[in-house]
Structure 1
Amino acid sequence: MDDGSSLFDAAFWITAAAIFLLLLFSAFFSGSETALTASSRGKLRAQADKGSTGAQIALRITEDNERLIGSVLLGNNLVNILATSLTTALFTRMLGEGGVALATLVMTLLVLIFAEVLPKTYAITNPETASARVAPLIRVTILVFAPVVSAVRLLVRGLLWLFGVKTDPNSQILSLRDEIAGAIALGHSEGSVHKEDRDRLLGALDLSDRTVEEIMRHRSQIEMIDIDSSPEAIITQSLASPHTRLPAYKGERENIVGVIHAKDLLREVDRLLRGANGRLRAIGDLKVMNIARKPYFVPETTPLDEQMRQFLRRRAHFALVVDEYGALRGLITLEDILEEIVGEITDEFDQDEGAPLKRTEAGDYLVDGAMTIRDLNRAMDWNLPDEEANTVAGLVIHEAQMIPNEGQVFSFHGFRFEIAARQENRVTMLKVRPAGAVGGAAAAIPPKG
């Protein structure tokens, strides 16, 4: 065996220095991977907008996560394997065959502590700052390893294809919208986001997934003006109505010929009364069709975000909703869409219709049958499905496959529904409460008595 002076020669120190340098590279690659994958692209964009060059580079290299991860893993494995090989050779030279086990133990501890846990802990504490710092060097690494990473990607996809797995390099596991919605829901569950803020933010995100049909006022609830009525009756109806705009029909309610705006009507009345030949009897000469605006019709399948853009572009607040056959289904206003984001908007002219949701002494919730499932879910933090019906009454009718009678009780989706009131074929009031058992199919209980 060599003496001590020959063991600690120049080769020993060069090898030790190389191992130390490789461990630094390993720590760099490990920390960079954690920082770049954990960083928020939104925060990086904010830093880039403030002039951070590192954040701009980080945004560019994280656009292709597959290439980024492949390059970082390739670099990390290269330096780890090389460091382990050099350490094994060094300890074997010092201790003989027994140095292999000791080299394995030493490298495991060094890599675990200084090349994995330590850099990743630092990176995860402030990933955006760390990403901006390492991004320039990682970009060089990606360019150097690009040919090898591309070959590995082709090989991996080929192997997956053999097992029937098809990959799409342009697909994202979660869309940006889903990531935002998930972050908001998580923030609410952790207490950092208030319920009202969560409802508003999620309401804005959901506009693209919802259609006009879901929130429109049904035609049975639309207040209309008969264009053939006397001018006095039309003026009286317009003044008594809580609405500024009223559809005008001729003959049948389906035949909408215009929209009467209260301000247009007031201007015309003012002209007749205070004009050059103004007199009170001139009200009888009022031609309502002369002031009626052209009705604006929209399909019931229009997404809410698109309809809001159309309202803003046309500088309109009111539209009539028709189905695929052109038949009138209802109406929608810009306020209806905004209420999906900010909640109910009321003013001094709105009629007090009472709360659509009340708690009874028995613990049930008295729910208006016309209340939408979405509003009930938002108010109570429930999760009733709204794919097949828009209103609570519609959900019960859909599940029961019948128009239930007053007093009937149904249990489905983990809730108990009791029909509290019915008018003709409409379920107007229900008692709802969470049930003990969760089920999918409707189970009907005959009415009492």
Structure 2
Amino acid sequence: MTPADTGTLLDTAFWTSVGAILLLLILSGFFSGSETALTAASRGKLRAKADKGDKKAERALVITEDNERLIGSVLLGNNFVNILASALATALFTRLFGDSGVAYATIIMTLLVLIFAEVLPKTYAITRPESAAGWVSAPIRIVIFVLAPIVSIVRGLVRLILRAFGVQTDPDSQILAVREEIAGAITLGHHEGAVEKEDRDRLLGALDLGDRTVEEIMLHRSQIEMIDASKSPTEILEQALSSPHTRLPIYSEEQENIVGVIHAKDLSRAMYAAGQAAGETGRTEAFETFDILSVAMKPYFIPETTTLDDQMREFLKRQTHFALVVDEYGALQGLITLEDILEEIVGEITDEFDTNDAGDNRLLSDGSYSVDGGMTIRDLNRANDWALPDEEANTIAGLVIHEAQTIPNEGQVFSFHGFRFEVTKRVDNRIARLKIRKLGA
């Protein structure tokens, strides 16, 4: 190539093509960075900024509501400028070097697009996605508006092709629900050491309230302490004062027939007032003739399928925190309190009147755990950081019975879900205690 030839080639058309290629590379970098920023930006953080008056964040929220339209517009613009830049580069290098210019154009454009139009803008966008999303939201909104007709045609064509292969698409659905995204972020944070185990348990416990029912955490009817209405008022008062529980259901004739709920403080206060009014001589008679049901609260019954989230709201709405759980036939199944629901979030709440439950899950010298059969699977998972399934049973004993398909005898051993279960105590038809060890530990 002679100097004259070189001067001919490096004319206005040459520099125009070079300038167009550089401009297209800048646009490609903009589209690539915008795609990363808008898809990686946390909608929660954008919402927080928007609530503080950040217009850019509010604009970014609006355009990310329809991800399919956003991605379609950005990809369409990005592919258009990349293909056009490659075509111009091929024509330019072919003019300079002949047929070998195609190879030169491919190599050079690959490096330029990779470095300046992909890696560099995406790396920047991923380091500060919310800020970048705010800055690019205005021009991207214009791009979406301009390319909307073409994107709609492409979306329709894509759906037709997918439908031909039996794939149904829902443009309004999200790949992950917001709750699942939050739960996943909390779990990931715990694995990476950013979230403590106790914090993780509390946050996940609060998120799970809407998916769990009162049946899973209620106190079973076999463990409910009740008051027989046929007892004398003095006996009932003694039982109420000696019980570790503040509220006790009162039944008439049979335990299924709950007629009220006695509060120990209300009962003692009412009987004290009756004794004071009767004086020294008539106090005994006043106690014996005292109407217990006059101070009993009306029993509050709820179905066993009520979610914990709904029940907590009902407790707060009714300004009470004691409910009796019944099945679909109205038969008593157990009871639940507001404290039971709160314990699913914050863990076990104990006071000086609670019984000691430390033996429910006791670490043995050989590394296994001695576990009470009535302990819930969720509580055991939370305490030991395990992942035993709780879809088919609520308690450890229930899980063993479900897997064994029988009521095991003492000494029987089972292995499932990566754990070894040994029945160490059985009372009648109830598995009272088990020894559990993680296989391979």
Q: Are 2:374 and 1:370 aligned?
A: yes
Q: Are 2:366 and 1:359 aligned?
A: no
Q: Are 2:243 and 1:250 aligned?
A: no
Task: State the 1:324 CA deviation.
Answer: 0.5
1:379/1:299 Cα in 2 relative to 1: closer, same or farther (>3 Å)? same
* Residue equivalent to 2:398: 394
Cα distance in 1 for residues equivalent to 2:196 and 2:90 = 57
Letter in 2 for 1:82: L
Cα distance in 1 for residues equivalent to 2:57 and 2:334 = 50
Task: State the 1:267 CA deviation.
Answer: 2.4
Letter in 2 for 1:337: I
Letter in 2 for 1:382: W
Give the secondary structure class of the aligned counterpart of 1:30: helix
TM-score of the aligned structures, taking structure 1 as reference length: 0.94
Q: Can you list the C-alpha shifts for 1:71-109, whole angstroms capped at 9, x where unaligned?
A: 000000111111112222222222232222212211111
Give the secondary structure class of the aligned counterpart of 1:384: coil
* Residue equivalent to 1:184: 186
Cα distance in 2 for residues equivalent to 1:412 and 1:101 = 60
* Residue equivalent to 2:322: 318
Letter in 2 for 1:342: V
* Residue equivalent to 1:280: 283
1:11-410 equivalences under 5 Å are 11-275=13-277, 280-281=283-284, 282-410=286-414
- The answer on whether the counterparts of 2:213 and 2:304 sit within 8 Å (CA) in structure 1 is yes
Cα distance in 2 for residues equivalent to 1:136 and 1:61 = 9
Q: Can you list the C-alpha shifts for 1:400-435, whole angstroms capped at 9, x where unaligned?
A: 222222222222222111111112221111111112
Cα distance in 1 for residues equivalent to 2:207 and 2:170 = 26
Cα distance in 2 for residues equivalent to 1:230 and 1:107 = 95
Give the secondary structure class of the aligned counterpart of 2:256: strand
Give the secondary structure class of the aligned counterpart of 1:389: coil
Task: State the 1:148 CA deviation.
Answer: 0.1
Cα distance in 2 for residues equivalent to 1:151 and 1:58 = 24
Task: State the 1:277 CA deviation.
Answer: 5.5
TM-score of the aligned structures, taking structure 2 as reference length: 0.96
Task: State the 1:257 CA deviation.
Answer: 0.2
- The answer on whether the counterparts of 2:31 and 2:74 sit within 8 Å (CA) in structure 1 is yes
Cα distance in 1 for residues equivalent to 2:99 and 2:418 = 67
Task: State the 1:118 CA deviation.
Answer: 0.4
Cα distance in 1 for residues equivalent to 2:362 and 2:46 = 46
Mean Cα deviation higher: 325-334 or 270-279 = 270-279
Superposed CA RMSD in Å reads 1.5
Percent identity among equivalent residues? 68
Cα distance in 2 for residues equivalent to 1:213 and 1:71 = 49
Cα distance in 2 for residues equivalent to 1:367 and 1:229 = 37
Give the secondary structure class of the aligned counterpart of 1:275: helix
Mean Cα deviation higher: 183-192 or 335-344 = 183-192
Q: Give the one of 416, 419, 426 matched to 1:415.
A: 419
* Residue equivalent to 1:431: 435
| Structure 2: 5+ residue stretches without partners | none
- The answer on whether the counterparts of 2:276 and 2:283 sit within 8 Å (CA) in structure 1 is no
Task: State the 1:274 CA deviation.
Answer: 2.9
- The answer on whether the counterparts of 2:93 and 2:105 sit within 8 Å (CA) in structure 1 is yes
- The answer on whether the counterparts of 2:261 and 2:296 sit within 8 Å (CA) in structure 1 is yes
Alignment length (residue pairs): 437
Mean Cα deviation higher: 200-209 or 269-278 = 269-278
Task: State the 1:368 CA deviation.
Answer: 0.6
Give the secondary structure class of the aligned counterpart of 1:312: helix
Give the secondary structure class of the aligned counterpart of 1:355: helix
Give the secondary structure class of the aligned counterpart of 1:421: strand
Letter in 2 for 1:347: D
| Structure 1: 5+ residue stretches without partners | 438-449
- The answer on whether the counterparts of 2:28 and 2:81 sit within 8 Å (CA) in structure 1 is yes
Letter in 2 for 1:150: S
